[in-house]
Amino acid sequence: MIHIPTLAPEVVFHIGQLPVTNTMVNVWLAMVIFLVIGIIIKAKLSFRPGKFQNFFEYILELLMGYFDQVTGDRKKTMRFMPIVGSVFFFILLSNWLGLLPGTGSIKIGHAFLLRPANSDLNLTVVMALVAVISSHLFGLASVGIFTHLNKFIQIGTFIKSLRKGPVAILTAIIELGVGLIEIISEMAKVLSLSLRLFGNIFAGEVLISVISGLVSVFVPAPFMMLELLVGLIQASVFTMLTLVYMTVLSTAPHEEH
């Protein structure tokens, strides 16, 4: 019988009153892997790095090179790196963990133990909120409160226009409307980021589940290789969009220079 994943994750067990879903198990597994790798890297740090340290330094430099192309400034890249780098590696690892043997096949009671973390809309929405809110916090810290808010609603300009005649008032009203549209577009960023990641990962999970149910050994392999590429692409898209939001909102408008 072919198992088709449902939109909602399944509850595997409870810790007190807290339900633990199969996507949470994958998230915790990713966090443990990151913790172990971090401890190993810290223990092996050296001015004369070995192959292990060289590998991770190469990956980090490669990633920062791509980030520089978006920010145009290594200082900004270094500033944003803790958040966008963490987001990239977490999404990438959690996507690839969804391809582990046993995902969608090992059962505990009526629930499957493992499920790709990003096939849970709750997780992708939270990550999208973190990305958008962080970009605004960086904007507030970089250009100041009033300059940042004026990117959306220019209250000062609107008040001044009241004394400049009907044309200026009409222009200010139009600008106010555009500002409200900008605010709505900021909310839409959360939707687009979360649904894009969720939709692609969930669709891949359904595809592999169906193919595996029909032919269990050789046929799913190419699709799983394709999912490795999809996982990398989705991690890159989510991270680059987050970086673009942070870069744009932390840059002062042209008239401020």
Is 2 within a domain?
Answer: no
Is 6 within a domain?
Answer: no
Q: What is the pLDDT of residues 171-220, one digit of tens each?
A: 767 777 777 888 898 899 999 999 999 998 888 877 777 776 666 555 56
Is 3 within a domain?
Answer: no
**Tokens representing 126?**
């939270």
**Of 175 and 2, more confident:** 175
> Average pLDDT, stretch 30-46?
89
Is 18 within a domain?
Answer: yes
**Per-residue pLDDT at 225:** 79
- Provide the number of structural domains found in the chain: 1
**Of 51 and 244, more confident:** 244
Concatenating the DSSP letter of every residue in 46-89 gives -SS--HHHHHHHHHHHHHHHHHHHHHS-HHHHHHHHHHHHHHHH
pLDDT at 257 over 50: no
pLDDT at 241 over 50: yes
Please enumerate in sequence order all residues whose Cβ is within 8 A of that of 211, keeping only pairs 6 or more positions apart, or say none. Answer: 219, 220, 223
**Nearest 5°: phi and psi at 21?**
-90, 170
Q: Are 194 and 125 in contact (CB under 8 A)?
A: yes
Is 85 within a domain?
Answer: yes
Range of the domain at 193: 11-256
Q: What is the pLDDT of residues 88-117, one digit of tens each?
A: 999 999 888 877 776 666 778 777 888 888
Q: What is the pLDDT of residues 138-177, one digit of tens each?
A: 999 988 888 888 777 776 666 666 667 676 667 767 777 7
pLDDT at 31 over 90: yes
CA angle 132, 135, 140 (to 5 degrees): 130
- pLDDT over 70, % of the chain: 84
H helix or E strand, kind and range, residue 111: strand 111-112
> Which DSSP category does 25 fall into?
H
Q: What is the pLDDT of residues 64-85, one digit of tens each?
A: 999 999 998 899 999 999 999 9
Is 135 within a domain?
Answer: yes
**Per-residue pLDDT at 216:** 58
- Between CA 256 and CA 250 the distance in angstroms is 12
> Which DSSP category does 14 fall into?
E
**Per-residue pLDDT at 214:** 64
Is 5 within a domain?
Answer: no
Is 153 within a domain?
Answer: yes
